[in-house]
A and B are shown apart, each in its own frame.
Chain A
Amino acid sequence: MEITVPPFDIKSIAPIILVTITGIVVLITDVFLKKLPKETLGYFSFLAVLITGVIISSQLGTTVYSFSNTFVVDDFSIFFNFIFLISTAIVILMSVTYLRQEGINYGEYYTLILFATVGMMLMAGGADLITIFLGLEIMSISLYVLAGFRRDRLDSNEASLKYFLLGAFSTCFLLYGIALLYGATGTTNINEIGTFITNNHAYSNPMIIMGTCLLIIGFGFKTASVPFHKWAPDVYQGAPTSVTAFMSAGPKAAAFAVFLRVFLVSLPGLETKWSVILWVMSVLTMTVGNVVAITQTNIKRMLAYSSIAHAGYVLMAIVTASSLGTASILFYLLVYVFMNLGAFAVIMVLGKKGKENLQIDDYSGLGYKHPVLAITMSIFMFSLAGIPPFAGFMGKFYIFSSAIKSGYIVLAIIGVINSVISVYYYLRVTVVMYMKQPVREFAPLSLSPFIILALIITIWGTIHLGIFPSRIIEFAQESVLLP
């Protein structure tokens, strides 16, 4: 018997290989050169992420299927790769000082961040459910460890344990869904599943419907959508702040990337069925996220609920299943990376070893003591609330208009009402900063050139995308999956 080796195209996964090798090099260097300051590993990882970004931009405009149709490079995956790399780069910049200050300055931190990025890139480019599953797990397992990175602290342990148990539990449902889809169609390739369903008119095959529901559970968990959101506040609160920032940006975008790809490529035939489920989930996610966020006193927990609410807005655009909806998701997720990472960077600047100042009341009087920092925080809060001229407004505007264009008027109205509710808790931070007297003395800020650079990048992104969004919007519209 002759074995033919299928052609493989290393070029298409060059960015992933580069990030993987960087991760391994960082890990080995950390072991063998013990004297090397850990910050160097951070700079090295940052540099590698930038180079990867350059390589990815050279792939623009092509659609290449490689490795027996299990991996695809198209504008959709490239747009998401940019989102991941931007968030990874900003998080590395933010982490360098934070890790030293918190006494968790270990080299493997950067390795885990890079491996999680590899997982996300595999997810965005996965054209086969095997690749998607593998990417999801590479990302999740790295994140389980990262959430518990502050090993000696019980809240970090607890976050890690909760995330791990619930994450592994939800993966089982995702896998059973994949198994049922495979059983019904005989293939794990997402394009072939789509073709099979259309050709055989298998729209009411119970196995496919059941599989779709289980996939929604699995992806709903990773995107922290209600009713699969209970892990998010605890994990966001307990994990080290830099890891929380990372989790709220990249992995969430990656989960939405597979959500979109699987549902728009494999299961467009069942749209009437899943759009109803996602409609309900979107309304629940927005409402629960925003209403519960109002009562929070811990800022990390408040941002966790706010991130749940933002997942609801994105789900709204998935419900429309239109190219405009997809483009608005791409734009929104990019915007969200900037404004959310910025807010977390400000939280980290205010934190000190042993006293992280995580209560919202700790921000009282910040506007008088550190005016620049207070303005920065206000920009991010206004942007998250969706107030023009900041990017958050443009993102929400595109999502709501895509919902209206597709005829989901009620959904858009609920979204706008929720957006109004969210203004209350975002502005409360601003109110506390400017209209309350300081409760106690502020400790000196933990500033370093790197976190300042991270803040400048995020402010620039938040303002620039709010005032001049057209270029990125065009790029997003070229990157959608639908014809």
Chain B
Amino acid sequence: MIPLTWYLILSGALFTIGATGVLIRRNALVILMCIELMLNAVNLAFVTFSRHHDSMDGQIFVFFIMTVAAAEAAVGLAIIVAVFKNKATVNVDKINLMKW
């Protein structure tokens, strides 16, 4: 059986890749995808711990996270479309009307 640690390392690695992506990528759509990746890393951690503790709480939590992620993606894409209609770009560096 694959030990618990391996799953957690994978989850941590995915989370880090996602977080790095959010910080270095400039395209709003790619940032959204990186956020989804981070959420999935969290899901993996929850499922792992759920298996480890033999309790269903973690898996229930995963369902909620997936539902919320879907809602968030819908709202996020709508916001990006609204921005694109007005500005014709999804580059977050160009969306800089307000500063300091």
Please pick, from A148, A155, A176, the residue contacting B97 in the complex, using a CB distance under 8 A.
A155
Q: Enumerate A261-277 residues with CB–CB distance to B below 8 Å.
A: none
Given A165-B31, A187-B55, are A134 and B68 neighbors across the interface (CB < 8 Å)? yes
Interface of B is mostly: helix
Question: Using an 8 Å CB-CB cutoff, how does the interface string of A231-261 with B read, 1 for contact, 0 for none?
Answer: 0011001100000000000000000000000
Q: Which residues of A contact B96 (CB under 8 A)?
A: 158
Closest to B41 in A: A176
Question: How big is the B interface, by class?
Answer: 35 or more
Smallest CB separation, B76 vs chain A (Å): 5
Q: With A130-B61, A179-B49 known to touch, is A165 a contact of B28 (CB < 8 Å)?
A: yes
**Closest residue on chain B to residue A292 by CB atoms:** B100
Cα separation A157 to B89 with both chains bound (whole Å): 12
A residues within 8 A CB of B98?
155, 158-159, 233-234, 237-238, 301
Query: A175: CB under 8 A from chain B?
Result: yes
With a CB–CB cut-off of 8 A, which chain B residues contact A187? 55, 57
A-chain residues with CB within 8 Å of residue B28 when the two chains form the complex: 161, 165
Known: A148-B79, A158-B97. A188 touches B42 (CB 8 A): no
**Contact mask B33-75 → A, CB, 8 Å, 1/0?**
0010011011001101100110101101100110010011001
0 or 1 for each of A175-188: is its CB under 8 Å from B? (1 = yes): 11011101100111
Kindly specify which of A137-145, A280-288, A393-401, A458-466 makes contact with the partner chain. Answer: A137-145
Nearest B residue to A185 via CB reads B53
Asked if A186 and B79 make an inter-chain contact with CB atoms under 8 angstroms apart, the answer reads no
Contact A238 B72 (CB under 8 A): no
A172 with B95: CB separation less than 8 A: no
Residue pair A179, B79 in contact (C-beta under 8 Å): no
Residues in A with CB closer than 8 Å to B46 are 179, 182
Q: Which residues of B contact A145 (CB under 8 A)?
A: 75, 78-79
Scoring A residues 152 to 163 as 1 if CB is less than 8 Å from chain B, else 0, what string do you get? 111101111110
Shortest 6 CB-CB contacts between residues of A and residues of B: A172-B38, A183-B49, A186-B53, A179-B45, A175-B42, A157-B83
What are 14 A-to-B residue pairs whose CB atoms are below 8 Å? A133-B61, A141-B72, A154-B86, A157-B87, A158-B97, A160-B82, A162-B95, A165-B31, A169-B35, A172-B15, A172-B35, A175-B42, A179-B42, A238-B97
